[in-house]
Amino acid sequence: MKRFYDKLNYFSNTEKIIWTVSVCLIAVSHIVFGGDLLNLLASLIGVTSLLFAAKGNPIGMVLMIIFASVYGYISYRFAYYGELLTYVGMTLPMSVWSLITWLRNPYRGNRAQVTVNAKLPKREWLLLAVLTVVVTVLFFFILRALGTANLLPSTLSVSTSFAAVYLTARRSPYYAVAYACNDVVLMILWTLASLTDRSYVSTVICFAAFLAGDIYGFISWKRMERAQKPSESKDR
């Protein structure tokens, strides 16, 4: 019985409130604005993955792998090839990489919490900047050739997604900042989509919920960073 209550208390009251409000908003938006069950499923998986990721739990990466697959298909249906390539061709495999690195770096043997990589060296930040520019330019021409709808925000989505998944794999708290930026871009992208199909308003609300989750994720990871010893944030 004690183990059962421990599992119930795994998430704090704040986390339970964030998840409950997010799920309610997503569900209500699907009822009001329409949208198929696949969109609803992807949204619920995504918002749940953020909660686990905010606690540094590898389950978050497992859910992200599932979310990337479903969201990629949804993007394909709306001809958002940027999102399709980003999530299936980049987020999905890099989430697998993140899952592996998180499992290899548990905090004090606790596989339910990853060791925070508190401070990346300056040269790695420079490398990330260069790689992000290269990926952005490459995808711009690829997406333009594919006739991607809303080319500029789609390209910017690739940029922010790449930075986010890289920082996630490197176990940096700033992964959540990059994802928050990505959420804003995606809110703009799907707002444009909703101008022709109002059912996509529910997707906009979904990413608004993601934004709240990522903001909390950054706060949570900075809290974990302070709680963990700097010496344990090194790669193994």
> Would you kindly state where each structural domain of the chain is located, as residue ranges?
12-105+121-233
Contact yes or no for 190/152 (Cβ under 8 A): no
User: What pTM does this model have?
Assistant: 0.88
Helix (H) or strand (E) holding 231: none
Residue 190: pLDDT band with limits 50, 70, 90: confident
Tens of pLDDT, residue by residue over 102-156, are: 999 999 888 899 999 988 999 999 999 999 999 999 989 988 888 877 888 888 9
Tens of pLDDT, residue by residue over 75-100, are: 788 777 766 877 788 889 988 999 99
Which residue has tokens 């686990």? 52
Q: What is the pLDDT of residue 233?
A: 44
Q: What is the pLDDT of residue 13?
A: 93
Contact yes or no for 40/27 (Cβ under 8 A): yes
Task: With CA atoms as reference, report the closest residue to 128 among 79, 194, 73, 172.
Answer: 172
